[in-house]
Amino acid sequence: MCFIVFLAFFSLPISGQTNKKAEIKRIETYVKSVEASTKRSKKPHLIFAEISDYNDDAKQKWRKFASVKALEKFRERNEAYTIVYNWRKNGKIVQSNFTLFSPSGDWAQYDFHYFRANGTIAKIASELRTFVGDLIVLRDLYFNENGKLIRQRTRYRDLRSEKPVRKPKDQDYKTDVEIYKTVRRLPFAKLVK
């Protein structure tokens, strides 16, 4: 009897790890299918930009653009420091690619949100490129169907060679990745039609 209890106690974490690995594998398979779909369509289905003043902490102002050309024309007169390209599958947003950068141009961050068909977040792949330390900081965040973070991984690369490097000791590169757990929570969700 004691042996059965002992065996059951120590097999629980292994089972949980196996389930987590299987979930991550399912998420990666899904992400690859979404990426294949977005590559086929080439042009994003929906384009949004946050158009308020970069230095103004007031409420964000989002604008929808009819095309990449329309966004480029707008940017000839005004800059937008957060731009989001979105792709749909069966009428629902499945991928939102955020591009964020600063007026100084010393960093840029790309956050790719992958949403399931039911609108919940599956994965965020983030890439920060910064001249501070000449680094690329790569982060992957995986979420279960309830929106709970089940795995997070961070890697560092040299900005020029893109070869892996160790995390610098003198800097703390905690990239702020805005997490939108559902499509309805996207900051421009009211503009989606």
Q: For the chain (length 193 residues), average pLDDT per consecutive 10? A: 43 64 97 95 94 82 97 96 96 97 92 97 97 93 96 95 89 78 97 90
- pLDDT value at residue 173: 61
Residue type, 106: D
The distance from CA 62 to its chain's CA centroid, rounded to whole angstroms, is 19
Report how far residue 97's alpha carbon sits from residue 79's, in angstroms, rounded to the nearest whole number.
18
Domain boundaries, position 165: 2-191
Tokens 């039609």 sit at which residue? 193
Tokens 């979404």 sit at which residue? 34
- pLDDT value at residue 174: 59
- pLDDT value at residue 62: 97
> Which residues lie below 8 Å from residue 104, measured CB to CB, with a gap of 6+?
none
- Determine contact, residues 137/131, Cβ cutoff 8 Å: no
Number of domains composing the chain: 1
- Determine contact, residues 63/84, Cβ cutoff 8 Å: no
- pLDDT value at residue 56: 76
Report how far residue 112's alpha carbon sits from residue 98's, in angstroms, rounded to the nearest whole number.
6
Report how far residue 166's alpha carbon sits from residue 157's, in angstroms, rounded to the nearest whole number.
8
